């Protein structure tokens, strides 16, 4: 529909540049304690997802599904922050942990990835069945935002969501794999490589301990886990063969949300920073690629899942102000 520049976000002067904006949340933000209830959702293929609920239990209270990013979890501070902000306006929320991200390895050799919209679809069906009277919305960050937009494009008018917000989306996974290998962004790449390799090794240990020789064999056939320095390496050797893609390029092409945007029929807001150190500026979609019900809110600054404002003594979190505000406006329509 349109691309807009929002005047309401004023980047914190004491966090100049995209990297400090990006690193504040994971490295410096104080934790947000929340009382949550965990539910285990068993999937059709025998695996599971863990869901963490917060807020009112009323059957008709608006419910927001929150999707974390790569190597994150429902305990990521931006997830906790938005759940707290939603509760403050009387809304319920449930944070999804992608496969193996809840602190316990998942049961199958496969894991999660940037195109895992089938897991999102099962979760949405579960939530609609559990709270059929509640208006259902979704918020996705980074990888979670890519999965969300892909799902919205695939499902069209049948998304079962009343609205959606995606933040810091890696619209073109191939280009983002290139971008994160440049300059200071290689620091993020090295972090992700360590975390993703550890994710696979932990499952190998679990399968060996539990005597699941067939599942262990599936992972061992992928080859040694050393020597992977880039996303192209990991996705070519691990992600693609584990999830039915022929190679990394095939995975990137079939999973990149940019190719699904014109089919979205759910009111959607995309919040993006032009200086995102994970995403090239030319990876962002043109206005002509967006469906009529999608708005791209593009900020000059903000980093990747950053958008920190305020003072050093009282940092502000624009996303936790903007997202509940936009969702409430949708609910009032």
Active site residues: 142, 276, 304
SS (H, E, C) the chain: CEEECCCCCCCCCCCCCHHHHHHHHHHHCCCCCCCCEEEEEECCCCCEEEEEEECCCCCCCCEEEEECCCCCCCCCHHHHHHHHHHHHCCCEEEEEECCCCCCCCCCCCCCCCCCCHHHHHHHHHHHHHHCCCCCEEEEEECHHHHHHHHHHHHHHHHCCCCEEEEECCCCCHHHHHHHCCCCCHHHHHHHHHHHHHHHHHHHHHHHHHHCCHHHHHHHHCCCCCCCCCCHHHHHHHHHHHHCCCCCHHHHHHHHCHHHHHHHCCCCEEEEEECCCCCCCHHHCCCHHHCCCCEEEEEECCCCCCCCEEECCCCEEEHHHHHHHHHHHHHHHC
């Amino acid at each position: 529909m349109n691309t807009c520049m929002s005047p309401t976000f004023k980047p914190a002067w004491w966090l100049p540049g995209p990297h400090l904006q990006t690193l504040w949340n994971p490295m410096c933000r104080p934790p947000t304690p929340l009382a949550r209830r965990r539910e285990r959702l068993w999937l059709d293929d025998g695996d599971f997802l863990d869901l963490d609920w917060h807020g009112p239990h009323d059957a008709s209270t608006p419910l927001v599904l929150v999707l974390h990013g790569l190597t994150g979890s429902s305990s990521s501070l931006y997830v906790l922050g938005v759940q707290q902000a939603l509760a403050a306006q009387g809304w319920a929320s449930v944070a999804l942990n992608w496969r193996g991200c809840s602190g316990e390895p998942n049961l199958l050799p496969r894991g999660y990835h940037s195109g895992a919209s089938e897991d999102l679809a099962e979760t949405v069906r579960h939530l609609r069945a559990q709270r059929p009277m509640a208006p259902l919305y979704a918020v996705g960050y980074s990888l979670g935002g890519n999965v969300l937009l892909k799902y919205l494009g695939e499902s069209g008018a049948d998304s079962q969501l009343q609205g959606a917000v995606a933040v810091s989306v890696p619209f073109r996974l191939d280009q983002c794999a290139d971008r994160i290998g440049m300059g200071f962004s290689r620091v993020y790449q090295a972090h992700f490589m360590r975390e993703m390799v550890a994710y696979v090794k932990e499952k190998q240990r679990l399968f060996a301990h539990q005597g699941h020789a067939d599942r262990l064999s599936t992972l061992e056939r992928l080859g040694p886990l050393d020597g992977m320095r880039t996303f192209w390496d990991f996705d070519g050797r691990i992600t693609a063969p584990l999830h039915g893609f022929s190679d990394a390029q095939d995975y990137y092409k079939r999973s990149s949300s940019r190719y699904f945007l014109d089919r979205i029929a759910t009111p959607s807001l995309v919040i993006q920073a032009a200086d995102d150190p994970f995403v090239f500026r030319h990876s962002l979609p043109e206005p002509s690629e967006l469906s009529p019900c999608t708005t791209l809110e593009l900020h000059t600054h903000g980093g990747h899942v950053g958008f920190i404002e305020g003072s050093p003594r009282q940092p502000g979190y624009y996303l936790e102000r903007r997202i509940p505000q936009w969702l409430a406006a949708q609910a009032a329509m």
